[in-house]
Amino acid sequence: MATMDKKNVSMNDVAIAAGVSLKTVSRVINEPDSVRESTRDRVHAAMETLGFRANFAARSLKLGRYGCIGVVMFHLSGGAVDMIDGIADAAEERGFALTMIKKRAGEKMTLAEAARRMSQLPVDGMIFNLRQMVDDFDTFEAPKDLKTVIITPMEHPTCSTVSDDQEGGARMACEYFLDHGHKNVYFVSGKKESLSSQCRMKGWRAALEARGIEPPEPLQGDWNADSGYAAGLVLADKPDCTAVLAANDYMANGVMVALRDKGLSVPDDVSVIGFDDELYKTIPNSILTSVKFRHRELGIRALNEVVAGLEAPSSRSRTLVSGVLVERASVRDLRA
Amino acid sequence: MATMDKKNVSMNDVAIAAGVSLKTVSRVINEPDSVRESTRDRVHAAMETLGFRANFAARSLKLGRYGCIGVVMFHLSGGAVDMIDGIADAAEERGFALTMIKKRAGEKMTLAEAARRMSQLPVDGMIFNLRQMVDDFDTFEAPKDLKTVIITPMEHPTCSTVSDDQEGGARMACEYFLDHGHKNVYFVSGKKESLSSQCRMKGWRAALEARGIEPPEPLQGDWNADSGYAAGLVLADKPDCTAVLAANDYMANGVMVALRDKGLSVPDDVSVIGFDDELYKTIPNSILTSVKFRHRELGIRALNEVVAGLEAPSSRSRTLVSGVLVERASVRDLRA
DNA sequence: TTGCGAAATGACAACGTTGTCATTTCGTTA
DNA sequence: TAACGAAATGACAACGTTGTCATTTCGCAA
């Protein structure tokens, strides 16, 4: 039957309806085994009838914790979906919900601001997803009582960080080229301000230098296929260009199309590797070899790191999630 | 100076430090104008020194609201990013944070379960993002005190719903073909269980039937380019096939590549339209005409709908966000 | 039946805020 | 200076839970 609920139903209401004390109702919820079965049933019945739902605020106030992890999205891009997915699944598994806020488009947000806003919300710890540099990165200090994990390729002086190993992934791709007999590798970057792009470039550079090769001038892209196409047109005219590493698959595809438009074959004339392994969704029979990062795993690790640090918020660790080279047919073996 | 904080700092601590009453501290936070400036400064100084941060639980308990909107992601896919972005921005603007939970991969989750879990969390209202059918869709009743908005193309008997106008978008694309002189339109669908795919198919069918055209058998795809390619191979052999509507851009691209591989030209021999307008990111100089949905707008509307309904949770409305046809060169005009 | 330890239940305070209402202080005018 | 109304501040209860500790009830052996 519909109950005339003018107000919210409290444990006290349930207690009265069931003819027991407030505390017994509490016990039915939190330690059911300590309540006699007949009593328990009576209480459950009363809860059902009245439509009782435990009050989150009162519970958290008493317990001193929320069971929520805050997530700050400084940037919400494509790869973010899988990461959120990982965070959310891991949270679920450990009995936490997520509280999310986002940097407003166009606005600037510092870590300090993010922390201040988060600490007004129901959170026991927090994750910052940071894909670009922020002004106060080095000086930021997390609240002492709120474990903070930053997802970023940069090391932070006091906070735990988690990241894909972007640099390592780029190095891996580069070495793959070199191991297949290529003497040099050209690079097409993403947007300048992107940390991912910067790290991928760094890894590319490092891999070449480690083998005593002078890295050629990188070509500037903007993540989209058209910018890759433009770069490809330039590269097609360079006789020494046998290998191109593009900072994502979209640009890699642009490069490939440009090369073909200029009469060159991939991989016979020029080999190409991209990042993120997304092209196969869009292009039938895609041949692009690509470095794939495990965003989902990244999210899981970030969440686990927060939860592990809840008791010791000032602990600090650094986690790198390695990438995987998905081999297809876009790289030619020049040996033999 | 570092303060020896064994415990959390409460308003009471601040009050004592500032030599004022508890209530005055409360006023400094909530109605600063009602406090004399000198007092206010003293309180602020004390808060600063002690590192005071208001306790969310206590505040919510007293106020009876949380300032958070719950978001349940039944499915977390590509387009979801923009939608979350819209939800988050709109929430921010109206002073709300988001509390998010997700259906675990592989698990089944009913609306009732989602509602039950959400009502244990700090939320004043909730948004369900539902892309596939669930068992209890028709029988579900939202908690009476928790405004619930479902993002889904289906109408719900008691809850407010918000959706892209998928059906209308498909109809629009179809009519665009017909208005350009095409006599029939073939359709490549996405995954069977996807509501988007179902709605797009429905719109396609409706548009043809409205002009007295018998819709041909739709081709079954799975959203990825390879399935579009397979469909394209089939379609290339149909002499009456001049127009293909694919349920997303990836499959549309697959279709186009297959047609070209079979020696047909797009758009000279066959015209193609896709959905989502994503191909230009991947393909340089993309010519694909595509129906684009405004996911961000969708999120904004959903959030606004929740907030608008906070005072009257049982109100019910239905919002459709129209799509936009992004014209490129993949449709040939057969008239004249 | 009585007595006993264990199990079940209850009374009450406390968590940290905000609302209500009473009290004090202030600035102004007589 | 006294008196007054308005502004500023304070005391106390209340929000709905859980922890502590006291009390009652139960099952079983003597």
A-chain residues near B278 (CB < 8 A):
282
> Counting runs of H as helices and runs of E as strands, what totals does chain B give?
12, 12
Of the partner residues A53, A89, A145, the one whose CB lies closest to the CB of residue B104: A89
One DSSP character per residue, A174-221 reads: HHHHHHTT-S--EEEE--TTBHHHHHHHHHHHHHHHHTTPPPPPPEE-
pLDDT of residue B2: 33
Share of chain A above pLDDT 90, in %: 89
pLDDT score of B87? 96
Cis peptide before B122 (omega within 30 of 0): no
B271 touches strand D (CB under 7 A): no
* Alpha-carbon gap: B119 to the closest alpha carbon of chain A (Å): 7
Average pLDDT over chain A, rounded to an integer: 94
For residue A103, the chain B residue with the least C-alpha distance is: B89
- The pLDDT value recorded for residue B3 is 37
Q: Which residue is nearest to nucleotide C8 (CA to C1')?
A: A35
Q: Quick one: DSSP state of residue B248? A: S
Q: Which token pair is A145?
A: 């009582």
A143 to chain B: which residues are within 8 Å by CB?
Answer: 53
d(CA A74, CA A80): 11
Q: Within 7 Å: CB of A62 and strand C?
A: yes
User: How would you classify the pairing of strands B186-189 and A289-292?
Assistant: unpaired
User: Which one, of B151, B93, B143, lies nearest residue B121 by Cα?
Assistant: B143
* pLDDT for the residue B276: 95
Tally of CB atoms within 10 A around A198: 21
- Chain A residues with CB under 8 Å of B224 CB are 280-281
Distance CA B226 to C1' D22 in A: 73
Per-residue pLDDT at A8: 81
Strand C bases near protein CB (under 7 Å) are 7-20
With CA of A60 and C1' of each nucleotide, the nearest comes out as: D17
Strand C and A31 CB separated by under 7 Å? no
- Portion of chain B with pLDDT greater than 90, in percent: 89
The residues near B277 (Cβ < 8 Å, ≥ 6 apart) are B249, B290, B291, B292, B326
The length of chain B, given as a count of residues: 336
**What distance separates the 2 farthest-apart alpha carbons in chain B?**
89
**Quick one: CA torsion of B279, B280, B285, B291, rounded to 10 degrees?**
70
Which pLDDT score, from 0 to 100, does residue A77 have?
79
Residue-level pLDDT at A7: 61
- Smallest CA–CA distance from B261 into chain A, residue: A284
H-run or E-run covering B179: helix B166-179
Q: Are B173 and B291 in contact (CB under 8 A)?
A: yes
Q: Is the dihedral of CA B237, B241, B242, B248 positive or negative?
A: negative
CB A90 within 8 A of CB A306: no
Question: Nearest Cα to A25, choosing from A46, A4, A5?
Answer: A46
Q: Which residue has the tokens 């929740």?
A: B306
CA pair distance B228, B188, nearest whole angstrom? 7
* Option in B80, B145, B253 nearest A282 (CB): B253
Helices (H), chain A: 11-18, 22-30, 37-50, 56-63, 80-93, 111-118, 166-179, 195-210, 225-236, 249-261, 279-282, 295-308
- Three-state DSSP at A125 gives strand
Instruction: Return the pLDDT at A105.
Output: 76
**Residue among A120, A96, A111, A164 nearest A323 (CA):** A164
> From the alpha carbon of A9, which nucleotide's C1' atom is closest?
D16
Query: CB distance A121–B68 less than 8 Å?
Result: yes
**Nearest alpha-carbon partner for B129 in B200, B71, B68:** B71
Kindly write down the DSSP assignment for every residue of A209-270, as one continuous string.
Answer: HHTTPPPPPPEE--SSHHHHHHHHHHHHT-TT--EEEESSHHHHHHHHHHHHHTT--TTTT-
Give 3-state DSSP helix, strand, coil % of chain B, rounded to 5.
40, 15, 45
Q: At B229, phi and psi to the nearest 5? A: -60, -45
Nearest 5°: CA angle at B14, between B13 and B17? 90
| C-beta atoms of A92 and B102 within 8 A | yes
- What's the confidence (pLDDT) of residue A78? 75
Token digits of residue B207: 């548009």
> By the 8 A CB rule, do B88 and B297 touch?
no
Four-residue CA torsion sign, A299, A301, A304, A308: negative
Between CA A280 and CA A292 the distance in angstroms is 12
CB A261 within 8 A of CB B284: no
How many Å is the Cα radius of gyration of chain B?
Answer: 27
| Contact flag, residue B20 CB and nucleic strand D, below 7 A | yes
* Nearest DNA or RNA nucleotide to A26 (CA to C1'): D18
**Which 3 state secondary structure label does DSSP give A132?**
strand
Asked whether the beta carbons of residue A100 and residue B88 sit closer than 8 angstroms, the reply is: yes
State pLDDT tens for residues B294-327.
Answer: 999 999 999 999 999 998 888 999 999 999 999 9
Q: Using the CB atom, is residue B34 less than 7 Å from strand C?
A: no
Is omega for the bond preceding A267 within 30 degrees of 0, making it cis?
Answer: yes
pLDDT in tens, chain B (336 residues): 333 344 689 999 999 999 999 999 999 999 999 999 999 999 999 999 999 999 999 999 999 999 999 999 998 877 788 999 999 999 999 999 999 999 887 888 999 999 999 999 999 999 999 988 999 999 999 998 899 999 999 999 999 999 999 999 999 999 999 999 999 999 999 999 999 999 999 999 999 999 999 999 999 999 999 999 999 999 999 999 999 999 999 999 999 999 999 999 999 999 999 999 999 999 999 999 999 999 999 999 999 999 999 988 889 999 999 999 999 999 999 987
Q: pLDDT for A153-192, tens place per residue?
A: 999 999 999 999 999 999 999 999 999 999 999 999 999 9
CA angle A298, A300, A302 (to 5 degrees): 70
Interface test with B, best of A59, A101, A102, A280 (most B CBs within 10 A): A102
- Type of residue numbered B289: T
In the predicted model, is pLDDT for residue A5 greater than 60? Answer: no
